[in-house]
Chain A
Amino acid sequence: MRAVVVTFPGSNCDYDCLQVLRKVMGVDTRFIWHREHELGDPDLVVLPGGFSYGDYLRAGAIARFSPIVEAVKRHAGRGGIVLGICNGFQILCEAGLLPGALRRNESLKFRSHDVHVRVETTDTAFTRAYRPGQVLRIPIAHAEGNYIADPGTLERLEADGRVVFRYTTREGARGEGGNPNGSANDIAGIVNPAGNVLGLMPHPERAAEGVLGSTDGLGMFESLVAHLAHERVA
């Protein structure tokens, strides 16, 4: 299995992703600069968090026109796995690989703290190592994480089981206090219809080693490694 982490000018979670994939998971992982035109046929592409292009205009709006994003689209079109975390999620929405948009947090504040998210489906390449309904404690760090889509899109996401992570309380309940940013339907992460492109605002890579205070995010990387190993055999 081989992974690439795309670095845009302003990415700042690229090393965290490299650390988890390479050091914790033992995956052959390298960085790829956003000006490149080819990904080099990896199994997994990660768009990391950060502030690509300073978040000018809108978060992710300018990064989506980087040459590498065309290669990411081709990879996704072939069924390749793409994981967008935080700014990566924003870029995937701006690029049209995921529906909807991420707006300014309802509080207008940059929120940087742990949240609880519930695993809504384990039937994805990203979540098969979790238990259905498992509540994870994972950090967020964003000012624009307020997910919105038109009502028809939200209905389809729900009906098709494409809401993968939802903000909840510690106990896994929706409502009071769980949602940190005002996201529609408490949505923290979604997948595309084919299930190979996932975007989420929380940072699983920052909760993947004991020294970081939580290992709840590690399951996502374990899921991906297991999924890709299985695919390779199949």
Chain B
Amino acid sequence: MSAYAVEIRVTPRRGLLDPQGKAIQHALDSLGFAGVGEVRAGKLLVIELEADSPDEAAARATRMCEKLLANPVTEDFAIEVGRDAAQAEAAT
């Protein structure tokens, strides 16, 4: 059993109007940043998760997204399983 740092990115579904992203896009435009296309604003969840393997951590994180963390009607999610948290700490 290891502790993994699982990062879950939840974003408004592509193609749906994201008012927050649009406001940010306009702000970037008005500040003179060139070449800014569509902006979507979501959330990043960082979860410390005990699991036997990275695959198991990813599978459990997927179930968490389906059940609670993302709304299937409006949001997409992406999961990244980081290094074993303890190992990462030891390495620093």
Contact between chains at A100 and B17 (CB < 8 Å): no
List the B residue with the shortest CB-CB distance to A150: B73
Number of interface residues of A (CB under 8 A): 20
Known: A108-B19, A108-B20, A148-B16. A103 touches B74 (CB 8 A): yes
Contact between chains at A107 and B19 (CB < 8 Å): yes
Residue B79 CB within 8 A of the other chain: no
Known: A57-B68, A65-B68. A106 touches B19 (CB 8 A): yes
C-alpha spacing A100/B16, complex, angstroms: 13
1/0 contact string of B3-20 vs chain A (CB within 8 Å): 000000000100011011
Secondary structure of the A contact surface, majority rule: loop
List the A residue with the shortest CB-CB distance to B70: A58
Interface members, chain B 9-33 (any A CB < 8 Å): 12, 16-17, 19-20, 23
Q: Across the interface, which residues of A come within 8 angstroms of B68, CB to CB?
A: 57, 61-62, 65
- How many interface residues does chain B have, given as a range? 10 to 19
Known: A104-B19, A106-B17, A108-B20. A57 touches B69 (CB 8 A): yes
Residue A182 CB within 8 A of the other chain: yes
User: Which of A58, A105, A149 sits near B19, CB closer than 8 Å?
Assistant: A105
Q: Across the interface, which residues of A come within 8 angstroms of B69, CB to CB?
A: 57
C-alpha spacing A105/B20, complex, angstroms: 9
C-alpha spacing A57/B16, complex, angstroms: 19
15 A-B pairs, CB-CB below 8 angstroms? A57-B68, A57-B69, A62-B68, A101-B74, A103-B12, A103-B16, A103-B74, A105-B19, A106-B19, A107-B19, A108-B23, A148-B16, A148-B74, A150-B73, A182-B17
Binding site for B on A (CB under 8 A): 57-58, 61-62, 65, 93-94, 100-101, 103-108, 146, 148-150, 182
Binding site for A on B (CB under 8 A): 12, 16-17, 19-20, 23, 68-69, 71, 73-74
